[in-house]
A and B are shown apart, each in its own frame.
Chain A
């Protein structure tokens, strides 16, 4: 019996292994830097216990001081002027309301609407908004509402850009149009039409703007334009891929240094997206793909780099997790340094619709995500922190928001 069983086992395992073709191994993705852990010698082993004790004592002291500071800061009344720590949620956010023709500035702490602006250009609606790190400057993009056309033809219109700066008390201050060269974007089709989330990303210092632009019907479907807001110079990132004219770029996100831009790159629509980065100080330089997210059945649509550059937050449409049989929706947090591209954390599940991570604390432990399902033009927002998701109240009829 056993010899027959052994033969069956040999044949069955070889049969299933034969499904892996000779040339089908994916490319090797080595980490950017080799990790060299320090060798522990017998001499250093003797130091471990006293060192550990010292570290424990130091940790206790630091914790005690931190707790004391927390208590003290909690006792002192917080005003809009006092400012929150960098890792805290920004004090103000902008919400696009009134069917896309207006925007409101809202206090994150109280939900109080501090002021509103209205788009005076006729037939235009706000299609995107992005916030700088100062939480008092927002860049808006608007586009004309187009008549409903044939299916499968993307509605494209030139965008108009505006800058809103808040006064120190958070009330709207200057709202000015930025006179930039024409950049075509996906525009809403008809009154109920919507532009995709994540069209715009302003750099943390407000000096540069990345726009998910649309060049021409067919190939390439989308690209990313980088605009220097000081000089008005526009650079089309698709030109950095001259040998691959079909490449599609989207979902731009800046690093905290205002220099490196990450974006989703897709060579063919049938292939999963990759995350690529470019040094915007040297836009002609060769770009480098840094990250291949796993769970490749997911179509990534939103990307956010944490301010410390250590993590990527990717949001996508529903897919199936390998091996688990679970239908999930994202965002998913990935560690940049983890070469296999396996996720660190799945945050939400069972949501079918468009998601966009819009703000993250320094290391991504807290983040704000907006989401929009297919049945409504309005978004909802939630903050994920410490394993909990808390809905964020938005003004009625909010279509877009930026923190």
Chain B
């Protein structure tokens, strides 16, 4: 039955405090990552919320708690990937039904025209390529860190980044 709260013994008290503290300190940076990846504030909030809930559920399974942030980052990236795939399918459906396009996060902030073009081009890349570029150039991660976050080899990171940059350049040339 629907009950207001669960009993306190059902949850490990240190997990709740630890996850809440991590959220307090890092939620905004993950939210920004989500917004860069998705261009949609609400979707980014969903992804970050789910990532921290997932961390909370698995807290007792984490052998090294100092890797919690890496876990959340991977969960956020996975969530963004799922959102992008869902959105691609929805956009295909919307194109068939000819419905309007929703406003994105960029519309809420004044961006220079060249930034807008770069972001529009970035949004057209496949999710994996987009992810590699965001990790490399927004978060400034090293290749080994990107490989760990994306669950791929360093060689694949190099080739994906290179292909993504080339595709981005092509799209920008089309705009200009």
Q: Are A15 and B115 in contact (CB under 8 A)?
A: yes
Q: Are A28 and B23 in contact (CB under 8 A)?
A: yes
The residue on A at minimum CB distance from B22 is A28
Chain A, interface size category, equals 35 or more
Q: Are B11 and A34 in contact (CB under 8 A)?
A: yes
Q: Are A12 and B42 in contact (CB under 8 A)?
A: no
Q: Are A16 and B36 in contact (CB under 8 A)?
A: yes
**Which residues of chain B are within 8 angstroms of A255 by Cβ–Cβ distance?**
1-2
**Which of the listed residues B33, B39, B42, B105 has the most CB atoms from chain A within 10 Å of its own CB?**
B42
Identify B6's interface contact among A33, A305, A321, CB under 8 A.
A33
Instruction: Report the bound CA distance from A20 to B172 in whole Å.
Output: 26
Q: Are B4 and A277 in contact (CB under 8 A)?
A: yes
Identify A12's interface contact among B23, B57, B105, B111, CB under 8 A.
B111
Identify A28's interface contact among B2, B20, B39, B83, CB under 8 A.
B20
Instruction: Report the bound CA distance from A288 to B4 in whole Å.
Output: 5
**Which residues of chain A are within 8 angstroms of B11 by Cβ–Cβ distance?**
32-34
Query: C-beta contact mask, A1-37 vs B, less than 8 Å → 1, else 0?
Result: 1100110111111111111111111101111111110
Q: Are A323 and B165 in contact (CB under 8 A)?
A: no
Q: Are A309 and B2 in contact (CB under 8 A)?
A: yes
Query: C-beta contact mask, B89-133 vs A, less than 8 Å → 1, else 0?
Result: 010001000011110111011011011101100100000000001
A69 part of interface (Cβ distance < 8 Å): no
**Which residues of chain B are within 8 angstroms of A29 by Cβ–Cβ distance?**
49, 53
Query: C-beta contact mask, B6-50 vs A, less than 8 Å → 1, else 0?
Result: 100011100110011001000110011101101111110110111
Nearest CB on A from B8, distance (A): 10
Which residues from 282 to 320 on chain A have a C-beta closer than 8 Å to any C-beta of chain B? 287-288, 290, 294-296, 305, 308-309, 320
Q: Are B2 and A277 in contact (CB under 8 A)?
A: yes
**Which residues of chain A are within 8 angstroms of B94 by Cβ–Cβ distance?**
324-326
Total count of chain B residues near the partner, CB < 8 A: 67
**Which residues of chain B are within 8 angstroms of A324 by Cβ–Cβ distance?**
87, 90, 94, 102
Identify A34's interface contact among B5, B15, B52, B122, CB under 8 A.
B15
Identify B165's interface contact among A6, A16, A308, A326, CB under 8 A.
A6
A278 part of interface (Cβ distance < 8 Å): yes
Q: Are A262 and B2 in contact (CB under 8 A)?
A: yes
Identify A9's interface contact among B31, B41, B118, CB under 8 A.
B118
**Which residues of chain A are within 8 angstroms of B100 by Cβ–Cβ distance?**
325, 327
Nearest CB on A from B44, distance (A): 8
A229 part of interface (Cβ distance < 8 Å): no
Instruction: Report the bound CA distance from A22 to B11 in whole Å.
Output: 30
Q: Are B42 and A340 in contact (CB under 8 A)?
A: no
Nearest CB on B from A240, distance (A): 12
Q: Are A9 and B27 in contact (CB under 8 A)?
A: no
**Which residues of chain B are within 8 angstroms of A32 by Cβ–Cβ distance?**
5-6, 10-11
| Beyond A262-B2, A340-B49, 17 additional pairs, beta carbon < 8 A | A9-B133, A9-B168, A10-B138, A11-B115, A13-B36, A16-B39, A19-B41, A19-B109, A20-B35, A25-B45, A31-B57, A34-B56, A296-B42, A324-B102, A327-B99, A336-B2, A342-B46
